[in-house]
Amino acid sequence: MRRVHRELARSQVGPPVIIDCHGHYTTTPSAHLEFREAQLARLADPGLPEPSPAEIGDAQIRESIETNQLRLLRERGADVTLFSPRAAGMEHHVRDEATARAWATACNDLIHRVVGLFPEHFVGVCQLPQAPGVPIERSVEELERCVEDLGFVGCNLNPDPSGGHWTSPPLTDESWFPLYEKMVDLGVPAMIHTSASVNPSFHGTGAHYLNADTTIFMQLVEGDLFGRFPDLRLVIPHGGGAVPYHWGRYRGLAERLGRPPLHDHVMSNVFFDTCVYHQAGIDLLFDVVEVENILFGSEMVGAVRGIDPETGFHFDDTKRYVDALGLSPQDAHRIFEANARRVYPRLDAVLSGRGR
């Protein structure tokens, strides 16, 4: 596959826009979580009435955002966040398709309301109504609704709806193709993001998330997904899991398996974010992975919210780490803006429509 590093023309005009590609609504009003609890209670006792999504006022949403994500966005010097429902809260391991659909709809509608209240700072990315054993084509309708009706620019795709037991086929399997076909048709990428772990061997954010990031990269090395879908774009979060640290291993495995070099076979279509929470990790990421394949992200107010006692700054203030790299203005532009606009073309259209 020929490698193309093309930046959208719009991204080189006007003032810079610092785009955080990885944000979740982790601070939802409590009524939203109560709706989820009512859903789960009804699954345990079908005699209970079917719950309705919570009635949440604009003021509640504003308070939950202004005192958290928006405050930190401004303090840390970013402009726009790609915003999706809380990853752990997707809870795809719950084995009921109707419940998964109702939950995804409610979560995505809430994201849409955040975007409507803060259109200059948040752009929507959707949760899919996945559940173990449910064909992925059943998620296509919600993807279409979110993109075409709500103006979302991407989706989060869970490669393991079982919650840590890995009962689904690899992402290179044909069973996933109906979703990929629709993603390509709509021009949206997916961030590959697991949800909660129900396997006691795998801590959710400390093991399961990173296991998945690493596992999916190897699946892509073994398969030939982008030979079939050359326009498909996937973002592997959390700095690509263990991949950058073991880059030589994956290069060697690709050669051993008779696959083309990684930059041709995988990296024209795969991108990592900067959700790595220490300077040495960011340094390694940039030493190993090309600038064209890295998007700025923080996942702030997420898994690691505290202050690093060694630095005195928040672990998830990843812009500080990227700034410390001393990138050239051209490379900084790619990391903070151009790459995101290239990987998420509907985001570029949204920003361009606003003169940004």
Which residues are part of the catalytic machinery?
Answer: 299
Q: 42 near 48, Cβ under 8 Å?
A: yes
- Rounded to the nearest 5 percent, the helix, strand and coil shares of the chain are 50, 10, 40
Give the residue from 209, 206, 177, 205 showing the smallest Cα distance to 192: 209
Q: What is the DSSP string of 256-269?
A: HTTPPPHHHHTTTT
Look up residue 20 and give its two tokens: 């955080």
Kindly compute the dihedral angle of the four CA atoms of residues 306, 312, 317, 320, in this order, to the nearest 10 degrees.
-170
Q: What is the DSSP string of 158-174?
A: -S-TTSSS--SPPTTSG
> Which residues on adjacent β-strands are paired with residue 85?
25
Neighbour order of strands in the sheet with 80-85:
19-25, 80-85, 122-124
CA–CA separation, 90 and 298 (whole Å): 19
Helix (DSSP H) and strand (DSSP E) numbers for the chain: 15, 9
Neighbours of 226 (CB within 10 A): 21
Q: Going along the chain, which residue ranges are E strands?
A: 19-25, 80-85, 122-124, 126-127, 155-157, 190-192, 234-236, 270-273, 294-295
CA angle (329, 24, 190) in 5-degree steps: 75
Neighbours of 67 (CB within 10 A): 11
Contacts of 202 (CB under 8 A, 6+ apart): 164, 208, 211
